Structure 1
Amino acid sequence: MAKRQTKDNPSSKSKASSNGKGSAKRSWFFKLFWRVTLIGLVVLGAYAFYLDAQIKHAFSGNKWEVPAQIFARPLEISKGEEITPQEVIDELNLLGYRKVTFADSSGEYSYQNKVLTVQRRAFQFPEGAEPLRHLVITWEGARIGEIYDKSQGRPYGSAKLEPWLVTRMTSGSQEDRMLVTLDTIPEMLPKALTLVEDRNFYNHHGVAPLSILRALMANIAAGRTVQGGSTLTQQLVKNMFLTRERSIVRKAKEAIMAVIIDARYSKSEIIEAYLNEVFLGQNGDMAVHGFGLASYFYFDRPANELSTPEIATLVAIIKGPSYYNPRKYAERTKERRDLVLRMLFDENEISRQDYERFVNMPLGLASGASLASGKHPAFMEQVRRELNEILAEPSLRDSGVKVFTTLDIVAQRRAESALSGTLDGLQKDRKVPLQGAMVVTDSASGEVRAIVGGKDFAFKGFNRALDAKRPIGSLIKPAVYLTALEDPTQFNLATPLKDEPITLESRNGKTWSPQNYDKEFRGRCLTSRA
């Protein structure tokens, strides 16, 4: 039986060999791909863990340096007290209260026929928190006849206004802010903010890819940057953690941190942090951050008293605090504000009637004087010295602590005027410039009510009231005599005293020999003649 012989096909061997090599290459490539991917995921996870630790540290405890708030003593009025309505109204104006026909909201007052109605703001006094009070104060002649609290439905013997915020003591930081919480601001504020800056804030997870894509297409079509795709969370990350650098790496880091923040914290916590962080203007060399401070800076009132047009103005400024600076560019700021109001109307947040009324209103800006620094520098210098002793740790002074002082603003202003006027009168017959200082104290309590450091009382320089070293001469006699006469068994007006030369040595070794005004000594004299 014959055997059949076959020969191997060289081309078949070649194809099998190449297929084997191709499979090996693909297998090697996929292994490499998955290894690189796995390493990338591990590195990304570690980096995310590192960023999470940074975020957690920043969000725990005090997120920001908040200047110490220095308050004057509150004006307290009582039944039967002799005080004019104008003096109380002056205090209300100092506190930024608004005069209206009918006072029905916090921070408003009305006055007619010797009846003053005040919606006294809620305030955290040193003795405890006091709620909003609807006070009706009536006068009988020159004295207060009755203080009636309509919110409690009964009369009171006394009442006090919240103290005036004299100044805010900043340390080395160039940022200033007043912290707010969601329960201390109007509901319209977060609504307007999310509507304008991030419509899908409550639906996305830190980033919004579709918004980024829409912004990219709009910017390409316009040939310039006309729209941003960042969410509120991304804006918060950029403001709190990152620089202004524009790069893909920074943008990626921003997105990762935004996702982490959204996963770790609630939407309420995120928007509250944004409300306190966002940059809204410049007050001299200090940056105005957050709606709490901006409401005082632009409208001289706390954030909870902001009206809808005022909220729209502040939200409008976010897009460009310099470009939409309402004090420099009122017209363009109003146009932007009206656009925000239109968006609120389109979303049925305000009625057509309100919208038409609001867009016809002016911006209604305040002067911003309530946040001016350097007021009453002599008194504030003493406050600063005491704070440095009481709160030696700088972080405590930058934690938003409230300092309630004994400053009586009426006494302070009168003291400044009296010293300046008196020195001007005495200067007429003298060539050498005269200077002076004054300290006003309460004789009953010993509290310091006013300090004037010099003729130019607004000058923040040498404080003569605290730092001038001069011999006081006979000015010390009343204090010495009073102390001596408190014990009549030792001294009385007929007690004989020695009137003889004496030499005293100071700490540095210098001697001093006091003289009588006529340069003569009488040996002995009565206390009443000394």
Structure 2
Amino acid sequence: MLKSISGWFKAHFWPLTIVMFTLIAAYLLYLDALIKPHFSGNKWQVPAQIYARPLTFSIKEEITQKEIIDELKLLGYRRQSTVTNVGEYAVGRNSLVVYRRAFDFADGYAAQRHVRIQWQEGRISAINDLDTNHSLPQLRFEPWLVTRLVPGSREDRMLVTLDEVPVILTEALIMVEDRSFYSHWGVNPIGIARALMANISAGRKVQGGSTLTQQLVKNLYLTREQSYTRKIKEALMALVIDARYSKEAILQAYLNEVFIGQNGGKAVHGFGLASHFYFDRPINELNLPEIATLVGMLKGPSYYNPRRSPERAQIRRDLVLKILFDANKIGKEAYLNAVNSPLKVASGTSLASGKHPAFMDQVSRELSTILADPNIRQSGLKVFTTLDINAQRRAERALSTRVAAIASKRNIGALQGAMVISDIRSGGIRSMIGDAVVDTKGFNRALDARRSIGSLVKPAIYYNALREPTVYQLASMLPDQAIVMEDPQGKRWAPQNADKKFLGEVRLLDALINSRNLPAVQVALDTGIENVVDTLAALGIDEPVPALPAISLGAVNLSALQVNQMYQTLANDGLYRPLHAVSAVLSPDNVLLWMHSDYSEQRIDERVAYLLNYALHKVTKEGTAKQLGARFGGINLAGKTGTTNDYRDSWFVGFDRNLLASIWVGDDNNAKTGLSGSSGAMQVYMDFQAQMEPKSLSRRFPSGLEIAHFNAKTGAQMLAGCPGSISLPAISSGLNEKVMSCNGAVVQKPKPVKPKKRSWWERLLGNL
């Protein structure tokens, strides 16, 4: 029987061989058809990248050396004694030398630049290009990469080309993972046999025999199934890829595909992304120990994770360095320096998933209107935002810590908060927090919680008075008396001051800075409730507000974002700029798809805006926010507290020269908290500014204003220098030609003299 079978095989050997080879060839052609479209085309769906704002500064700008160093640290620049490479900086007494990276900004490509920045008296005095010896009027750094909108696959990668990768990295990869990479045909039989013997000897799997090409096939095309069938398919596909593509193309694909760890729910694939995730810098700036760390992790990205198991990761790193040294890829000095260097990894905040959910919510909402097709939002776009990540982190720290402290001290169970910070000049949102537990996703109080704003409405009330300068000036006396009204249904309304007292008369300025309710109600009634509503609309409130008398006590429900828009217009000298979080969108190949329109509109009288900002500055010196002025005595700030009935909502709006913050603290269920604007929200603002480098207010004295002099008790105009007189900015067209002299006689007012430079009122008012 056996003889007959053997004879049959001998007789049919060649036909069977031809059939077998035909089948194998057909299967290889099938595999080639399967591989080619994917390997030759776009192998990966790359997520959209979300960038923070780029730090930009100019000569004569008031920005500290520390602020720029903080930005450089955030961007992963290395501090050195001498700067020779891109991504490095050196610190001098009043200077910084920086080798700035190249970057594709929304408005075009900026090449790498070797610069020196110098300071004099707290301002930048010079920016010089050290390669050309030219002076630069302005400089900006590349924006920080906040996060990436990963598609449904949950795989994240940052594509790199082979020429971007340090040569020593590819050499280390080949030495550690596949020494015969350049000589085998995709499969290494000797390596497989060696691994098989080692595993049999150890009684467990201690060595793998797969080539880089096989590993790439397994990751790109196959499942994790452990079977001989899958291994055979893997080997055949590796042969096809090796036959069709160059070793360089295979190596580049491997560098972009290999799994190197986990970022929350997202898998980190490729050395390009791993470089940013573990070291906060691009791959071409990695040093030898960092390269060895990443290559060493390939054996077990979780087991050798340098954040979770630093000792284990360092041992593995040093083994990779030893392999390179033994192979003469690095010299003795480089080897010793590398193994003796500490294992340094980034904090992990770069590209961290789930961070800054309120701000990202705003970005997502804006993108939904900017990009009609939702699929395009995950196709490698570059989204440039207005986020200042340093301000965001400091605001998060201030809000979460202070709210928790207040809740603990006052035994308040469910105290919550929201905070929005904007750039006054541009309207860019620099920070947004929608929950006191800052990384909580879900209900975004900064956008969606509408709460009564209380006394924050008062600048809109007094705007309508001060725009009638013949009737009202800051020195005008207002009634602080009981008011009783009935609504159409006969319901009695009797507003009260917070202290339940009546002062009889009070100066308009003092009524605002001390947040007296009754004078504000009377002014609102006298100037028209409808005009208050119109002013709110002019300031940027874009939804209907009922024109009811209660509006004069802040019975207007707004979000922290809406409050910020309202005060941003006021702080910007009456110039309205829509608040926004997205500034530009680029295609994957850096073509501009969309850019924020630099729209602005003068919504309110600049002269009245100046008077109101002057009063808001006084709030921090003499009024309800004087604790803020005492805390930052050398810096001119402005602000307004807001407290609602029964102390249910605590509000504060504060601003320096550049940034405006709106803060709400309260209970989601509208329960009483016992917090005023100054005891709650203002404390958050003080904690925030304590971490910042606040800039003193500076306001141009608009034409049509002058310094006028008034009787402190009656508000009547007086000559300058009389006992009992006060000096205040005033709209010229509303002033009388005849004023009181010091002895009470009516005299002709002297012609206004333009203030000399650095006069006493310019020192007092010119910094507002």
Which category of TM-score, normalised to the shorter sequence, fits these structures? 0.7 to 0.9
> Which residue number in structure 1 is paired with residue 297 of structure 2?
317
Q: What is the rounded CA distance, in whole Å, between the counterparts of 2:364 and 2:175 in structure 1?
A: 43
Pick one of 433, 440, 451 that aligns with 1:459: 440
Deviation at 1:190, TM superposition (A): 0.7
> Which residue number in structure 2 is paired with residue 214 of structure 1?
194
How do 1:144-223 and structure 2 match up within 5 A? 144-223=124-203
Q: What is the rounded CA distance, in whole Å, between the counterparts of 1:352 and 1:24 in structure 2?
A: 65
How do 1:291-370 and structure 2 match up within 5 A? 291-370=271-350
Q: Give the TM-score normalised by the residue count of structure 1.
A: 0.80
Pick one of 70, 77, 83 that aligns with 1:103: 83
3-state SS in 2 of match to 1:370: coil
In the alignment, is residue 277 of structure 1 matched against residue 280 of structure 2?
no
Decide whether aligned partners of structure 1 residues 480 and 209 sit closer, same or farther in structure 2, where only a CA change above 3 A counts: farther
Alignment check: 8 A CA contact 2:186 2:214 kept? yes
Moved more, 164-173 or 234-243: 164-173
Decide whether aligned partners of structure 1 residues 144 and 36 sit closer, same or farther in structure 2, where only a CA change above 3 A counts: same
Q: What is the rounded CA distance, in whole Å, between the counterparts of 1:336 and 1:518 in structure 2?
A: 69
Deviation at 1:421, TM superposition (A): 7.7
Q: What is the rounded CA distance, in whole Å, between the counterparts of 2:386 and 2:6 in structure 1?
A: 84
Q: Give the TM-score normalised by the residue count of structure 2.
A: 0.57
Decide whether aligned partners of structure 1 residues 222 and 86 sit closer, same or farther in structure 2, where only a CA change above 3 A counts: same
> Which residue number in structure 2 is paired with residue 41 of structure 1?
21
Deviation at 1:434, TM superposition (A): 5.1
Instruction: Tell me the amino acid that sits aligned with residue 275 of structure 2.
Output: S
> Which residue number in structure 1 is paired with residue 418 of structure 2?
437
Instruction: Tell me the amino acid that sits aligned with residue 429 of structure 2.
Output: V
Alignment check: 8 A CA contact 1:62 1:399 kept? no
Q: Deviations over 1:70-113 (max 9, x none)?
A: 11110001111011111111111121222222222222211121
Decide whether aligned partners of structure 1 residues 412 and 54 sit closer, same or farther in structure 2, where only a CA change above 3 A counts: same
Q: Deviations over 1:247-289 (max 9, x none)?
A: 2211111111111111222111110111111112223332222
Alignment check: 8 A CA contact 2:529 2:549 kept? no
Instruction: Tell me the amino acid that sits aligned with residue 149 of structure 1.
Output: D
Q: Deviations over 1:289-348 (max 9, x none)?
A: 211122223222221111112111211111222332333433333333222222212222
> Which residue number in structure 2 is paired with residue 121 of structure 1?
101
Deviation at 1:354, TM superposition (A): 1.6
Q: What is the rounded CA distance, in whole Å, between the counterparts of 2:164 and 2:460 in structure 1?
A: 51
Alignment check: 8 A CA contact 1:178 1:290 kept? yes
In the alignment, is residue 380 of structure 1 matched against residue 360 of structure 2?
yes
Decide whether aligned partners of structure 1 residues 449 and 42 sit closer, same or farther in structure 2, where only a CA change above 3 A counts: same
Alignment check: 8 A CA contact 2:95 2:119 kept? yes
Deviation at 1:425, TM superposition (A): 9.2
Q: What is the rounded CA distance, in whole Å, between the counterparts of 1:330 and 1:234 in structure 2?
A: 29
Alignment check: 8 A CA contact 1:118 1:136 kept? yes
Q: What is the rounded CA distance, in whole Å, between the counterparts of 1:118 and 1:518 in structure 2?
A: 54
> Which residue number in structure 2 is paired with residue 55 of structure 1?
35
Q: What is the rounded CA distance, in whole Å, between the counterparts of 1:349 and 1:63 in structure 2?
A: 32
Q: What is the rounded CA distance, in whole Å, between the counterparts of 2:82 and 2:168 in structure 1?
A: 23
Q: What is the rounded CA distance, in whole Å, between the counterparts of 2:9 and 2:94 in structure 1?
A: 92
Alignment check: 8 A CA contact 1:174 1:287 kept? yes
Pick one of 442, 445, 449 that aligns with 2:430: 449
> Which residue number in structure 2 is paired with residue 508 of structure 1?
none
> Which residue number in structure 2 is paired with residue 509 of structure 1?
none
Deviation at 1:140, TM superposition (A): 0.8
Identify which of structures 1 and 2 has the higher relative contact order when contacts are C-alpha pairs closer than 8 Å and 6+ apart: 1
Moved more, 463-472 or 110-119: 463-472
Instruction: Tell me the amino acid that sits aligned with residue 448 of structure 1.
Output: I
Q: What is the rounded CA distance, in whole Å, between the counterparts of 1:456 and 1:142 in structure 2?
A: 36
Q: What is the rounded CA distance, in whole Å, between the counterparts of 1:325 and 1:455 in structure 2?
A: 31
Alignment check: 8 A CA contact 1:345 1:352 kept? yes
Instruction: Tell me the amino acid that sits aligned with residue 426 of structure 2.
Output: S
Alignment check: 8 A CA contact 2:529 2:547 kept? no
Alignment check: 8 A CA contact 1:95 1:164 kept? yes
Instruction: Tell me the amino acid that sits aligned with residue 85 of structure 2.
Output: S
Decide whether aligned partners of structure 1 residues 233 and 111 sit closer, same or farther in structure 2, where only a CA change above 3 A counts: same
Deviation at 1:413, TM superposition (A): 4.6
How do 1:234-245 and structure 2 match up within 5 A? 234-245=214-225
Moved more, 421-430 or 341-350: 421-430
Deviation at 1:395, TM superposition (A): 4.7
Decide whether aligned partners of structure 1 residues 406 and 209 sit closer, same or farther in structure 2, where only a CA change above 3 A counts: same
Q: What is the rounded CA distance, in whole Å, between the counterparts of 1:270 and 1:187 in structure 2?
A: 16
Q: What is the rounded CA distance, in whole Å, between the counterparts of 1:323 and 1:348 in structure 2?
A: 28
Q: What is the rounded CA distance, in whole Å, between the counterparts of 2:230 and 2:290 in structure 1?
A: 34
> Which residue number in structure 2 is paired with residue 400 of structure 1?
380
Q: What is the rounded CA distance, in whole Å, between the counterparts of 2:209 and 2:271 in structure 1?
A: 23
Deviation at 1:368, TM superposition (A): 2.0
Decide whether aligned partners of structure 1 residues 81 and 38 sit closer, same or farther in structure 2, where only a CA change above 3 A counts: same
Moved more, 375-384 or 49-58: 49-58
Decide whether aligned partners of structure 1 residues 403 and 343 sit closer, same or farther in structure 2, where only a CA change above 3 A counts: same
Alignment check: 8 A CA contact 1:296 1:368 kept? no
Instruction: Tell me the amino acid that sits aligned with residue 72 of structure 2.
Output: L
Q: Deviations over 1:19-52 (max 9, x none)?
A: xxx99995x6456444443333333233222222
> Which residue number in structure 2 is paired with residue 265 of structure 1?
245
Alignment check: 8 A CA contact 1:68 1:403 kept? yes
Moved more, 408-417 or 186-195: 408-417
Decide whether aligned partners of structure 1 residues 499 and 482 sit closer, same or farther in structure 2, where only a CA change above 3 A counts: closer
How do 1:466-485 and structure 2 match up within 5 A? 466-469=447-450
3-state SS in 2 of match to 1:168: strand
Deviation at 1:234, TM superposition (A): 0.7
Q: What is the rounded CA distance, in whole Å, between the counterparts of 2:86 and 2:200 in structure 1?
A: 48
Deviation at 1:55, TM superposition (A): 1.3
Instruction: Tell me the amino acid that sits aligned with residue 335 of structure 1.
Output: I
Decide whether aligned partners of structure 1 residues 456 and 115 sit closer, same or farther in structure 2, where only a CA change above 3 A counts: same
Alignment check: 8 A CA contact 1:178 1:293 kept? yes
Moved more, 33-42 or 145-154: 33-42
Moved more, 411-420 or 219-228: 411-420
Instruction: Tell me the amino acid that sits aligned with residue 406 of structure 1.
Output: T
Instruction: Tell me the amino acid that sits aligned with residue 371 of structure 1.
Output: L
Q: Deviations over 1:357-407 (max 9, x none)?
A: 222222223322223222221111111223344445555333332210112
3-state SS in 1 of match to 2:350: helix
Instruction: Tell me the amino acid that sits aligned with residue 432 of structure 2.
Output: I
Decide whether aligned partners of structure 1 residues 142 and 127 sit closer, same or farther in structure 2, where only a CA change above 3 A counts: same
Q: What is the rounded CA distance, in whole Å, between the counterparts of 2:401 and 2:292 in structure 1?
A: 46
> Which residue number in structure 2 is paired with residue 5 of structure 1?
none
3-state SS in 2 of match to 1:369: coil
Q: What is the rounded CA distance, in whole Å, between the counterparts of 1:415 and 1:310 in structure 2?
A: 32
How do 1:483-502 and structure 2 match up within 5 A? none
RMSD across aligned positions (CA):
3.6
Q: What is the rounded CA distance, in whole Å, between the counterparts of 2:201 and 2:240 in structure 1?
A: 32
